[in-house]
Chains A and B, each alone.
Chain A
Amino acid sequence: MKRSSSEKRRHVVAWLNKAEWDQVLDHLYSQDAALQRFALQRVSAWRGRYAHSTPVAVDCTAELVRCQVLDRSGQLSGDDLVLLYGAALVRFVNLITEKQQGRRARPLRRLAGKLNIPEWVVDLRHDFTHRKLPTLMWCRKGCKVVLEWLQQEYWSRQLGGGPDEDWESQSDGEDDDADVKQQEGELMERQREMEAYKAARDFLVSYEKERYQSLDGSQEDKWLSPFADMSWLLGDIKQFSLDSAELLVDVLLEDGFLVPTAEQLQTLGCDPSEDCGPSGPRVPPVFLRFWLPLLKALNSPSFIHLFLGKLLAELKLAAGGQRERRAFYISAWASEAVLCNSNRHEFRFESKTQRKARVRERIFLNRIQLRWRQLLTACLDAPCVYTPHLLRLILEDMEPPLPQETQQKLLRLCCIYTQSPGPQPGPSEEQKHQPVYTVESLQRSRPRRSSERPEASADLRGADVLAQKATALRGSPWQVCPDKVPWEDYPLGKVPGQSDDPSCLMAETYSTMTVSEEPVELEGGRRQSAAGVSGPARTAEGLLWGQSDFTRLKSGLKLF
């Protein structure tokens, strides 16, 4: 649904980088016991990172490789090995098919068949659990085949290795069927959208045609009482907008409709120069009247919400893309819509005819409750020369109004940002006192205000805090990192000077420490438990073995 195809989803994995993954894969399948052992140890670290979510395939591979390594070491008897192989193979068959299992248990044979696991491997598993233990020969053969299967199905296709990956899949790795269905659904959806889009375009083109025809044949007055054909068309469009309002507005805002081309303007006899008068961008009256019948037909609160929202979104794009004409017309339409909604006082004193004329040229009459917060955000999101004008309109009309001071500040900020002349309706005494700030004025004011400027003081305080921390740690092995490191350049898990070599974190030498298994009291606590502890556990007391003896003993022990 919302997964955009452009942005791949990031996942956290246990390997530092691709090089580490490649190294482990290479070693696991190297057939060299020493390298395999190394890879197994690395996988043990991966398990530590993954906690309870190690990929099943990684776990299974490691268990099977462990069997091979122990087999080759020649230290175990055949019977020992059969048990080891047995556990690894049973786990493989069950865990790997688990994802296929539904609510009700299904035969493993069928599930394995779907995954291209040879049937005899499943039989071997059943032998282990239900029948006579298989021979070592079969165990080795099973292990070999399964490892090959894992390499082919998982390792070599993972991390960009495979040809048929769908990268934007969900993270939990559940329900593939749902995914396929969703893709089909998306395809259908796209097709439907294309059709609707075409229909919308057709409607608007015929609307324009009708309007041009009426323009040729008649004088202005008839404009607002549409022909019979026109009312049919408007009815159709209205109907269409019930289902696909959003699409319709999208098309409306394309060039050639609400944003006229130069030819269109010429045909209508408008001045094609985007002249922004003192009252901000306005739609040329002729052009406004051209579209008025349609807009009136479509008028509804939800349409206006949508229309305004889309206008501002488009304005953002147009402003970013340096498309002057588009930005002009879009902001002109936006201000038209906001103006229609405003309940300005000056309207109260107008004459009847004035009122009539005004009403005729409005898209809608009754004030509706706009989504002011959204509008404001969207407007601020689309900075261009026309933004201050729109912003002012919105602020004036907003309900509930923002505090006066906030309004002023916002306007001023907006003007500064868009480099347009300050807010024109300037009843701002205050503004004279507080002119637009420039770098110079900041510099000028620096000496006396330095203590108040939040950023600088925050930095200073930051340094202070670090210094305090450093003092508190003095005398302990801990310290605040004293080097000037630009930490923002180093993501978590990376430090200055760290190479990309996957062996960079190997601890070639290390010391082992053994501690008491009894609960330990912090200092000041009662030491009752310590009394009962037997000697060897408390090396600090220096009883039978010293720390060095211990280290020697420990290092003689091989864990893997």
Chain B
Amino acid sequence: MKNKNTQVKGKSQKWKDVRSKRCISSIKSSDLNSSPVAVKIIKEVSVKKKTVKRLKKKPKAVAENKKNSPASGYKKSAFQANGCSTFALDDEKEDFQDWREGSDSVHANGVETSDDTEVQGGRLEGEALHHCAQRGNQENRAVLVMQKNETLCFRGKCTVTCLYGRVEVMGFTIDEGQKPYPLFSPASHCPLTIRALGNSEYVRDNRTEASNILQEYLSQASRKKLVKKVTSSSSIILLDPLETTLTHFLSSFTHLSELFSPPVSELMSAVPDTPLNSLGMIPLASAVEGMKTSRSCSDALGAVVNACRGDLDGCGVILVCGTKNVGKSTFIRILINTLLNHTSSVDYLEGDLGQTEFTPAGCLSLSTVKEPLLGPPFTHQLTPDHMIYYGQPSCETDLDRYLESLKSLWRRRPQCRETPVVINTMGWVKGFGFQLLVDLIRFLPLTHVVQLSHGGGTQFPSLTPEFLRTARGYQTHPPAQTALNELAEIHGPPRTYTHLSVQSEFQGVARQGTATHQRSNEHRELSLLGYLSQLQSPDPGPVRPLHTLTPYQVPNTAVALGVIHCEVAPSHMLYAANASLVGLCCLPEKVTSKGGPVVLSQTALCPCVGFGVLRGIDMARGLYFLLTPVDPSILRKVNCLLLGAISLPSCILTTQPGFEDEMPYVTADYSFDLTGAGKIRVFKGLMRPSQMGVQ
């Protein structure tokens, strides 16, 4: 494959670099935590497939380049973008084509925008599913034939492998021959939709080939049935059950047992008894809309992706903003996935403390994203390159620290890096929140600002470059001399950016979900559980509750202890820290003790490498016992434990098997009926500054 690189022009060099990584060869067993047997089978299959593909490619590619018909060229490039390392980006026409493709693929998700002339494929539901899906001949797998533009919307989870053709999920294209991808569609978020894109090859003896492919998965009878459905534009996907340490861990909590089932509102639309149900997928009828992308949304996506591929040399800096629940996170997931169709990695700067994408809440972080995001945040917790523990799920308490943290994260990003950066922001767009946005736009060398709004209007002034000329920020002022000068030194002359306005049109926009698992505090809890599931050993076996694991220990004189979110008397600080979630941080200063535990006098803005549960404190020996999934080679540098307002999910404490009563911090005798027994109640939608400082 490498020999093709000579054809590729300089500018697209970085776009294609590690594309082949996403090819099948690199399946780790951790990607696929089903039974060992299944893994083995898939490995064999994929290896086989890869060789087939390689053989087929070589002669064909040359022929196609000669033909140079726009259609074939376009198809070719799109196909290769996902499948292998060659990536020909020769003429502008192709750029444009690809742009169109990106925008189309996003479009067809929404049924609304059907002004394209292409045949609109319907939702796969009811009887149709029985005809085009078959159970595999071993395990609980199923094979599904989809016609072009047909969609399958579902709840549950599975691993999807594309056997033939191409399908798209959340903006990410999965090609024939690519490795299997895990899909998570829990009740906490909008259901996922798999959409068939049709086949990219144009001359193929589809039936025979499909039959050959299916031979490995299906019995003869079901194979015959399915092959009849295959046409040149069909796609065939293999669906396997998905069990990971995460799902295993979550299933040990009774209140999450229905997490991967449809929520009550969708029960009427759930299609029972299809071949997919037994592997953990519940197809949804078209009454459930699924992810809906508006025209403005897909246009914006197209514009950003195209810019990143074209002029910007791959270094787009995209800031996404909008009010709460307007779809920022979803937009960002689709954007990242779409970018990943073309590049091997995307950088991500987290600026939303409440709804973090890759970390537990309360963290600001900078991550490198290499894998598509095919599920909600709790299914893809990853270790960021840099992280700062802010310690609150919102930033009102200390705006300066918020801005300083983000600036310091940005500074740590290598400037020579030529990957696009996506920046998420808070849903706080009024008052000071708006001023913070203005500051961020001034501080960061943005190329695009995507502003999401709903209901026809904008919820806050359009953050266009013109507006920024006169806008007042929290730290910056209209002339913005200081900040601009500072940046000018680092980044050269100030750049301007493109402002893209997106109208979200999905149902329930700007409202927080009220169903089980859909409230934002439940999302935060899930993210933390997702993080803590990394403590489980990858070996099969029963879930091991946290308290049974062997902890790390460290003398309380060697690590400092600090509380971020409130003032705690130092002599009582261990009462706050015991059995709590702590951020593991690295102070540059050496920690020394004159005796007893070391207590931080004020909040430090220091790198955080992960989280741990302070499992217990041995007062006699002066030891902290800590449970953490952080790698020991990094843990050894940790010299500071920070306590923030992000608490351990209560189920971790209440679900400790083996104890009847007498668990610390757990009681069944607390009555919420008494006056004053609950927390401070804030009227929703009426956040006043007077209530913000209250703790």
Contacts and interface: CB of A to CB of B under 8 A. Distances in A.
Interface in A41-85: 41-42, 44-60
A98 B678 CA distance: 11
B599 A559 contact: no
Interface in A3-61: 8-18, 41-42, 44-60
Contacts of A44: 566-569, 572, 576
A5 B639 CA distance: 47
B664 interface: yes
B363 to A, nearest CB: 15
Interface string B36-63: 0000000000000000000000000000
Contacts of B662: 17, 491
A507 B617 CA distance: 11
B656 A522 contact: no
Contact of A45 (B568, B663, B675): B568
B674 A153 contact: yes
> DSSP class of B's interface residues: helix, strand, loop or mixed?
loop
A497 interface: yes
B539 to A, nearest CB: 5
Contact of B677 (A158, A509, A522): A158
A461 B581 CA distance: 27
B412 to A, nearest CB: 6
A526 B414 CA distance: 11
A510 interface: yes
A51 to B, nearest CB: 4
Given A157-B671, A176-B673, A559-B567, A507 B596 contact: yes
B650 A11 contact: yes
B650 A12 contact: yes
Contacts of A150: 676
Contact of A491 (B547, B558, B669): B547
Interface string B634-657: 011111000111110010111010
Interface string B674-685: 111111110000
B604 interface: yes
Nearest to B616: A495
Given A493-B616, A519-B605, A560-B569, A539 B675 contact: no
B636 A472 contact: yes
A510 B599 contact: yes
Contacts of A489: 658
Contact of A454 (B539, B547, B663): B539
B599 A490 contact: no
B260 to A, nearest CB: 16
Nearest to B606: A520
Nearest to A488: B548
A104 B692 CA distance: 21
A480 to B, nearest CB: 6
Contacts of A493: 578-579, 615-616, 653, 663-665
Interface in B569-615: 569-580, 586-607, 613, 615
A60 B676 contact: yes
Interface stretch (A224-232, A344-352, A360-368, A498-506): A498-506
> DSSP class of A's interface residues: helix, strand, loop or mixed?
loop
Contact of A54 (B548, B675, B679): B679
Given A512-B599, A554-B601, A167 B579 contact: no
Contact of B550 (A10, A17, A480): A480
B480 interface: no
B555 A477 contact: yes
Contact of B632 (A154, A478, A498, A509): A478
B408 interface: yes
B537 interface: yes
Given A60-B676, A99-B681, A476-B636, A165 B671 contact: yes
B667 A47 contact: no
Interface stretch (A299-307, A387-395, A420-428, A462-470): A462-470
A470 B659 CA distance: 30
A356 to B, nearest CB: 33
A343 B605 CA distance: 72
A56 B601 contact: no
Interface in B19-39: none
B288 to A, nearest CB: 23
Contacts of A377: none
A475 B551 CA distance: 18
A519 B654 CA distance: 37
B665 A57 contact: no
A173 interface: yes
A472 B632 contact: yes
B687 interface: no
Interface in A501-545: 504-522, 525-526, 529, 538-540
Contacts of B412: 521-522, 525
B229 interface: no
Contacts, number: 377
Interface in B387-426: 388, 404-405, 407-408, 411-412
Interface string A392-419: 0000000010010000000000000000
Nearest to A483: B553
Contacts of A508: 571, 596
B678 A507 contact: no
Nearest to A7: B668
B81 interface: no
A163 to B, nearest CB: 12
A57 B674 CA distance: 9
Contact of B575 (A12, A45, A373, A495): A45
Contacts of A162: 671, 674
Interface stretch (B240-248, B499-507, B618-626): B618-626
A461 B676 contact: no
B566 A48 contact: yes
Given A154-B674, A492-B613, A455 B541 contact: yes
B647 A513 contact: no
Contacts of B670: 11, 13, 158-159
B633 interface: yes
A96 B680 CA distance: 9
A360 B616 CA distance: 70
B69 interface: no
B601 A514 contact: yes
A62 B654 CA distance: 27
B562 to A, nearest CB: 9
Nearest to A54: B679
A517 B673 CA distance: 43
A153 B601 CA distance: 37
B589 A540 contact: yes
Nearest to A462: B537
Contacts of A437: none
A517 B404 CA distance: 10
Contacts of B404: 519
A450 interface: no
A186 interface: no
A507 B674 contact: no
B68 interface: no
Given A55-B678, A480-B552, A490 B547 contact: yes
A525 B409 CA distance: 11
Contacts of B578: 16, 493, 505
Given A47-B568, A479-B552, 19 more contacts: A16-B664, A17-B664, A18-B667, A41-B572, A48-B563, A55-B676, A56-B677, A57-B674, A159-B671, A403-B138, A491-B664, A498-B616, A504-B619, A506-B572, A511-B592, A520-B606, A522-B412, A547-B592, A559-B570
Interface of A: 8-18, 41-42, 44-60, 95-96, 98-99, 115, 150, 153-154, 157-160, 162, 165-167, 169-174, 176, 179, 369, 373, 400, 403, 454-455, 458, 461-462, 465-466, 468-470, 472-473, 475-482, 487-498, 504-522, 525-526, 529, 538-540, 547-548, 551, 554, 559-560
8 contacts: A169-B671, A173-B679, A487-B549, A492-B547, A506-B574, A514-B601, A515-B589, A538-B589
Q: Top 7 nearest A-B pairs by Cβ distance?
A: A57-B676, A173-B678, A493-B579, A519-B408, A48-B576, A8-B668, A493-B664
